[in-house]
Amino acid sequence: PLHRLDKDTTGILCFSRTLAGAQWFSQCLREKTVGKYYLGIVRGTMQTQRITTDDEGGKTMTQCYSIEYNKDIDASLILFKLITGKKHQIRKHAVSVGLPLAGDRKYHGGNPLPACKHYLLHAWRLYFPTSRPADIPACIEAPMFSEMEMCLNRYFSDWRKTAAAIIQ
């Protein structure tokens, strides 16, 4: 595996079949030329913002894009772009601005959304640089797991169109 996901985070996980591929991917991560986008649901209204913190592992940065707010459940769908990649980074950054992932008990998210068992955070898309090897696509997207798909369709109407427009 070339990177990891937190225990209840779903989505893309990359592997390499060769040492050269692993080295290329690691270099892209160091140079921040891979676009890593996650979808998550926070309690409250989060505005589009960049969150930067300093911790024991150094400086961490996450760009947060507000996709849609649902006042009936007091929750926002957020597109998170990782600038750096540290353990629990998105979860820590969300709680640092007072808007934890809904249902993230470790980071004070309280109760999950109705019909959901835990927090919803999905490694949705990876964009690779134009200088990628010929057999690497420009973008890969992980399909939603059933609980995430149900919540997105139930609580957020035009999320896919809005998220795609932000990434462009």
Q: Which residue of the set 6, 55, 74, 135 is catalytic?
A: 6
* Catalytic site includes residue 135: no
Q: Please state the three-class secondary structure of 23-76 as a single string.
A: HHHHHHHHHCCCEEEEEEEEECCCCCEEEEEEECCEEEEEEEEEEEEECCCCEE
Residue 75 CA to residue 112 CA, distance in Å, equals: 10
Q: Which residue has the tokens 């992980």?
A: 142
Cα angle 119, 120, 123 (rounded to 5 degrees) comes to 135
Q: What amino acid positions are annotated as catalytic residues?
A: 6
